Structure 1
Amino acid sequence: MKEGWFSSPVPVSAGFTGDIRYVSSARQAIAMLTGNWHGQGSAKHLAALRACQGAIHGHVSPARAREAFVEAADEARVLAEHRE
């Protein structure tokens, strides 16, 4: 299995205080997506989870996994940057 490193980290708000966490890989994204994620089970959440799992198994590019994670984070309103 691979880590699925992203080309650049995705900043997300985490916890009750809104601390910024930088997610740098598909494996780290999976940890966040399977934790206490707002909107868990939504189509974007599940797509991000599948894409990130695919990236660590080498079936999906890390770029696609990052894109799916950004979309899920945006939907959950935890994305700490403006979308490109």
Structure 2
Amino acid sequence: MMDEKPFDKPVTLELGRIGDFRRIGSTREAVECLVTVWPLNRGARHRDAVETCLKALDGHRSSEDARRALIEAAMESDVLAPQRTRH
């Protein structure tokens, strides 16, 4: 089983209904979220995030690279939770 590759700080996303928050704490969780529950408005940042996360799980990129890519994809798809809910 591959390492989870934890993030230093979780990323909070608002997926589905308003107020339905999901905290992503590792690269493995990020891949699962990007592939299974991500909204249909996927763009280039989403593809980059999936690729970066998979490379991080394989040891070719850092978990911080994966976290940054997830945040960029979340901003592109407008699912990054408001700052006040990210604790």
TM-score (norm 1): 0.86
Q: Which has the higher helix share?
A: 2
Percent of aligned positions that are identical: 40
CA contact (8 A) 1:12 1:79 kept: yes
CA contact (8 A) 1:2 1:58 kept: no
The runs of at least 4 aligned residues of structure 1 exceeding 3 Å deviation read none
Quote how far apart the aligned CAs of 1:2 are.
Answer: 1.8
CA-atom RMSD in angstroms: 1.4
CA contact (8 A) 2:52 2:66 kept: yes
2:52 — aligned with what? 51
1:18 — aligned with what? 19
1:78 — aligned with what? 79
Residue ranges of structure 1 left out of the alignment (5+ in a row): none
CA contact (8 A) 2:12 2:22 kept: yes
Count residues with an aligned counterpart.
81
Give the residue type in structure 1 aligned to 2:81.
A
Residue ranges of structure 2 left out of the alignment (5+ in a row): none
Give the residue type in structure 2 aligned to 1:33.
L
Evaluate the alpha carbon distance shift between residue 58 and residue 81 of structure 1 in structure 2; reply closer, same or farther with a 3 A threshold.
farther
